[in-house]
């Protein structure tokens, strides 16, 4: 029995991701004409049967172009990892090791059911442990500010030498 859900509309995908927001969902974006997609399909099926705590979906990019556009899919196969209704990871290409590593990293356990507890963790001080990955814009902004500061120091140093 297949543990894989086939998605055909963006509305259907959004409803599933919303309903499974506390679980990792791995979506295989594939095409019927794609050789590497056919090669990785049995591996994806095996992972779906192995990791019961993870939701597995397939999207045929030719039949569900709306979903493929929403996730900016540009190569097949592409595996998108969704948690909390957010994309947290992506693997492009038929790389079984990278797909399984992503599942282990974002599902919180080696088999998706290995004694992990749902919900946020707690620290000794009683404050909740953050469960979301910070948006990448924060990291980029830090580097932009550092680059601007370095540029200003270089520019101001040259101005003093010219005087």
* Residue boundaries of the structural domains of the chain: 4-107
Lowest-confidence range among 23-27, 62-66, 68-72, 130-134? 130-134
Q: What is the pLDDT of residue 51?
A: 93
Catalytic pick from 24, 37, 40, 67?
37
Contact yes or no for 97/79 (Cβ under 8 A): no
Q: Across residues 138-162, what is the average pLDDT?
A: 73
Q: What is the pLDDT of residue 112?
A: 45
Q: What is the pLDDT of residue 127?
A: 62
Is domain 4-107 classified as CATH 3.40.50.150?
A: no
pLDDT digits over 57-95, tens only? Answer: 999 999 999 999 999 999 999 999 999 789 999 999 999
Q: What is the pLDDT of residue 10?
A: 92
Average pLDDT along the chain: 82
Catalytic pick from 34, 91, 94, 99?
34
**Residue 141 — very low, low, confident or very high, per pLDDT cuts 50/70/90?**
low
Please identify which residue in the block is written with the tokens 């974006």: 29
**Residue 131 — very low, low, confident or very high, per pLDDT cuts 50/70/90?**
low
Q: Across residues 137-151, what is the average pLDDT?
A: 72
Q: State yes or no: is 57 an active-site residue.
A: no
Contact yes or no for 33/63 (Cβ under 8 A): no
Q: State yes or no: is 34 an active-site residue.
A: yes
pLDDT digits over 28-39, tens only? Answer: 999 999 999 999
What is the value of pTM for the model shown? Answer: 0.66
């Amino acid at each position: 029995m297949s543990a894989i859900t086939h998605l055909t509309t963006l509305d259907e995908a959004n409803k599933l991701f919303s309903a499974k927001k506390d679980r990792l969902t791995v979506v295989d974006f594939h095409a019927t004409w794609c050789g590497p997609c056919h090669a990785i399909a049995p591996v994806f099926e095996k992972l779906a049967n192995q990791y019961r705590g993870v939701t597995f979906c397939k999207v045929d990019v030719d039949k569900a172009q709306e979903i493929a556009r929403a996730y900016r899919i540009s190569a097949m196969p592409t595996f998108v990892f969704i948690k909390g209704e957010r994309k947290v990871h992506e693997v492009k290409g038929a790389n079984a090791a990278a797909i399984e590593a992503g599942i282990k990293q974002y599902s919180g356990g080696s088999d998706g059911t290995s004694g992990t507890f749902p919900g946020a963790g707690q620290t000794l001080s009683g404050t909740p442990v953050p469960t979301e990955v910070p948006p990448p814009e924060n990291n980029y902004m830090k580097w932009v500010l550092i680059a601007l500061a370095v540029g200003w120091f270089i520019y101001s140093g040259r101005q003093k030498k010219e005087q």
